[in-house]
Structure 1
């Protein structure tokens, strides 16, 4: 839950920074070398909308089990990561990664790639959990089994009496005395 609040804060801040510098976003995305000019406006709008949706959802409903905001978060994280990795691999000089628009700018470096990798860690499905362990015995289990056998047999050295044949004694039963 804490991680969702942190990620919600970061992604909402990213969206707010990008909205505040929306006029610069097509130029920032063009630096990645995949889109240019006016065609960069569409991915900018999609990224900002995705960041805003998942950021606000994570802040408003951090315990939500809904998958929609997680898928949106995953999509946004994958797009930013792919943009960064391909530009870094091609050696493109990206002066501002654009994560917060023109605010808190960082040049594209291994540190930005590390940040993107960390966001992808949360987007990854959780590792499968091992099945719950059952008791394999031990001293406590052996003592419990011994007590159960004693209760069935009426005590040490007495023959076992099945539970449905046991006779319950009550105080109202008369006790026959010899000679009566």
Structure 2
């Protein structure tokens, strides 16, 4: 539960920072030289929506066993990590990684890669928990009523 609260806080803060600087987000994402123009705007909308969805879900329902926010968190983490790794490997100069929009800016480098790696580790932990929940035997409470047709 603590992990979900921490991740919910981080992802909600990321989304709020990106929303507050939405006009700059397409240009920030275009610096990774993967998308530009309308595609960069669509990517910004996708990232922000995903961050808000799972961030708020983790904060408001940290004990939820729903798989959707875990998969959304994993998808957003993969997108950010993919952008960072390919940009780093190509030697791009990215002055602002964009994680918090125009706030708390960091240039693309090892610290960003480590942070993205940690997000992926956390995604693995969350996915493992979801898988364990899905494979756990279901037990019925003695006070559960079963109506027959």
Would you say same fold, with TM above 0.5?
yes
CA distance in structure 1 between the partners assigned to 2:61 and 2:79 by the alignment: 24
Bigger Rg, structure 1 or 2? 1
CA distance in structure 2 between the partners assigned to 1:38 and 1:61 by the alignment: 34
Could you tell me how far 1:39 is from its partner in structure 2? 2.2
TM-score by length of 2: 0.84
**5+ residue gaps, structure 1:** 130-180
Aligned residue in 1 for 2:146: none
What secondary structure is seen at the aligned counterpart in 1 of 2:105? Answer: coil
Aligned residue in 2 for 1:126: 128
Aligned residue in 2 for 1:168: none
CA distance in structure 1 between the partners assigned to 2:66 and 2:50 by the alignment: 15
CA distance in structure 2 between the partners assigned to 1:118 and 1:33 by the alignment: 24
Two-structure CA RMSD over aligned residues (Å): 1.4
Q: Which has the higher contact order (CA 8 A, sep 6+)?
A: 2
Aligned residue in 2 for 1:58: 58
Could you tell me how far 1:10 is from its partner in structure 2? 0.5
Aligned residue in 2 for 1:96: 96
Could you tell me how far 1:56 is from its partner in structure 2? 0.2
TM-score by length of 1: 0.69
**5+ residue gaps, structure 2:** 133-149
Aligned residue in 1 for 2:75: 75
Larger % of helix: which?
2
Write out the 4+ residue segments of structure 1 that deviate beyond 2 Å after TM superposition.
125-129
What secondary structure is seen at the aligned counterpart in 1 of 2:10? Answer: helix
